[in-house]
Amino acid sequence: MVNLIASHIVKPARPIPRKVMYLSECDQCKPLTHATTVHFYKPENPELLKDATRVLKDSLSEALAAFYPLAGRLYQKDGGRVELRCNSMGALLLEAQSELKIEDFGDFCPTPQIRALIPPIDYNNTPLHEVPLLLVQITKFACGGVSLGSAVSHVIVDGQSGCHFVAEWAKIARGEKSDDQPYLDRTILQQYEECPSSIAPKLQYPDFYPLPVLIGQSSSLEERKKATTCAMFQLSKEQIEQLKNNVNNHHDLVHKTSNHPPFSRFVAVSAHIWKCLSKARMHSPDQETVLYVTVDFRNRLKPPLSGRYFGNAVLPVPARAIAGDLQSRPPSYASSKIKEAIDKVTDEYVRSYLVCMKDMPEVSCSRHFHTVGCAQGLFFGNPNLLITSWVGLDVYKVNFGWGEAISMTPGSLGYDGRLFLIPGPNGDGSLIIPLRLQVEHINAFKKYFYEDI
């Protein structure tokens, strides 16, 4: 049970440029819902939390002066697109209390109990321009610990931008100088979207969103309706090494060479999940299945985007296979498919994607939604899946003056086949994998996931 104590609208500490900020096509095709996370803290000295809400409020106001797009609002435009107005309407900060202890959350699986630690958003009954782009909730627990739950508009930031903002906000809260300013000029991507008519993009919409449906079904409607549940999986460093060895040793054996770069742990683990999931879903041998990988393209453009680019610079990249091949062929087969898909993300690929999205008169059909049971937009569930890796992000080093986070989890997983790869909290090389699956498949997946390592 979570009880709300106070609510604050937090505005930038100083006047900011009031304007309509350009949104790239990469921003426009992102969900209109919010990406949610919860960080848990257990400071050794509870006194550190005495002024926690005031510290958060003051430092957030300061941070919003630099990251001012987060204090604005989105407005609907034609074709499902939106407009970002930088108008200092502010972020929402809630203060709450709970009789629970941090240990009551077990493995921190994103259940409704976890979602209650993040400000609620009523998408159905609130006009888009009234929804804050950033909502934060501090919840104090009976054990002396706290959680910081946040919801941030996916149209405004991707994972790297979101982490950049939170890191700078935490710096200010600790009384340090925020010196890593965001790169706010999104028009830099306009040059990629304005392809001359004489140079047609080499890829078209079906290349980016080849979403197969189950054999015998004409759409994803039946699969969307099925009951789903969340579970948390863990892989130790030793188990990950075993998966990597399985794919790399077999690849070397087949190709009689070890000159190729070894498959990464991300590729090896993703291939394992893909194979186990297809097995748990009891796919027909002829069933086409697509694994989508979220790829950051900042360093793949020519010239590269700044690492401090504040906006979306990620896109979902499809790896395709036939279920029979996934099951019958060795693990290096699935790994090769995933690596080939990631390697395709070149400057030309990103340009094609942006031009393709710009040419779409209606972008709503290209969005997916972070709300469970939603019947709108793209559906990445059965027979497909979507993986996002947070392995390269400093998800635990978010220190507001109470020490680093002891745990961190997504606030929710929106649909069947949605999962994250998150580094373990102890820096021991382990991985935590929150996943949403159809109820009828979850037990079989658990069995194969651990037995088939």
Structure token digits, residue 69: 């797009």
Asked, for residue 201, whether it belongs to a domain, the answer is no
Domain extent for 260 = 208-451
- Work out the number of other CB atoms within 10 angstroms of the CB of residue 23: 23
Name the nearest CA neighbour of 300 among 260, 352, 257, 335.
352
Number of domains in the chain: 2
Residues across the chain: 453
Distance CA 410, CA 419 (A): 10
Asked, for residue 195, whether it belongs to a domain, the answer is no
Asked, for residue 202, whether it belongs to a domain, the answer is no
What is the pLDDT, as a whole number, of residue 370? 52
Asked, for residue 200, whether it belongs to a domain, the answer is no
Distance CA 321, CA 108 (A): 32
Asked, for residue 181, whether it belongs to a domain, the answer is yes
User: Across the strands, what pairs with 434?
Assistant: 232
User: Across the strands, what pairs with 420?
Assistant: 388
Distance CA 205, CA 353 (A): 8
Same domain, yes or no, for 158 and 109? Answer: yes
15 SS3 class:
coil
Same domain, yes or no, for 181 and 214? Answer: no
Residue with tokens 């941030």: 152
Asked, for residue 197, whether it belongs to a domain, the answer is no
Alpha carbon of residue 436 to chain centroid = 14
Contact assessment for residue 404 and residue 397, using Cβ atoms and an 8 Å cutoff: yes
Same domain, yes or no, for 145 and 215? Answer: no
Asked, for residue 203, whether it belongs to a domain, the answer is no
Contact assessment for residue 129 and residue 73, using Cβ atoms and an 8 Å cutoff: yes
Instruction: List, as one string, the DSSP characters of 285-316.
Output: TT-EEEEEEEEE-GGGSSSPPPTTB-S--EEE
Same domain, yes or no, for 333 and 442? Answer: yes
Single out the residue in 190, 221, 241 at which a domain terminates: 190
Distance CA 228, CA 417 (A): 10
Same domain, yes or no, for 219 and 163? Answer: no
The backbone region for 304, taken as left when phi is positive above 0, alpha when psi lies in -120 to 50, beta otherwise, is beta
Structure token digits, residue 285: 């041998």
Q: What is the DSSP letter of 155?
A: T
Q: What is the DSSP letter of 256?
A: T
Residue with tokens 């257990």: 42
Mean pLDDT per segment of 10 residues, for the chain of length 453 residues? Answer: 96 97 95 95 90 97 98 95 98 98 97 96 95 98 97 97 97 94 95 65 76 95 95 98 92 58 95 98 98 96 94 95 96 96 94 88 74 68 96 93 96 95 94 98 98 95
- Strands 314-322 vs 288-296: parallel, antiparallel or unpaired: antiparallel
Residue with tokens 């080093």: 397
Same domain, yes or no, for 77 and 166? Answer: yes
Same domain, yes or no, for 181 and 285? Answer: no
Query: Residues 6 or more apart from 115 whose CB is under 8 A from it?
Result: 36, 411, 412
Same domain, yes or no, for 291 and 331? Answer: yes
Name the nearest CA neighbour of 298 among 345, 368, 352, 367.
345
Same domain, yes or no, for 166 and 245? Answer: no
Q: What is the DSSP letter of 334?
A: H
Same domain, yes or no, for 179 and 260? Answer: no
Which CATH number do you get for residue 87?
Answer: 3.30.559.10
Single out the residue in 123, 157, 190 at which a domain terminates: 190
Asked, for residue 198, whether it belongs to a domain, the answer is no
On the 0-12 / 13-18 / 19+ scale of CB atoms within 10 A, 293 is: buried
Residue with tokens 């935590």: 432
User: What value does the CA radius of gyration of the chain take, rounded to a whole number of Å?
Assistant: 22
Same domain, yes or no, for 185 and 220? Answer: no
Single out the residue in 135, 162, 190 at which a domain terminates: 190
Contact assessment for residue 297 and residue 314, using Cβ atoms and an 8 Å cutoff: yes
Same domain, yes or no, for 293 and 410? Answer: yes
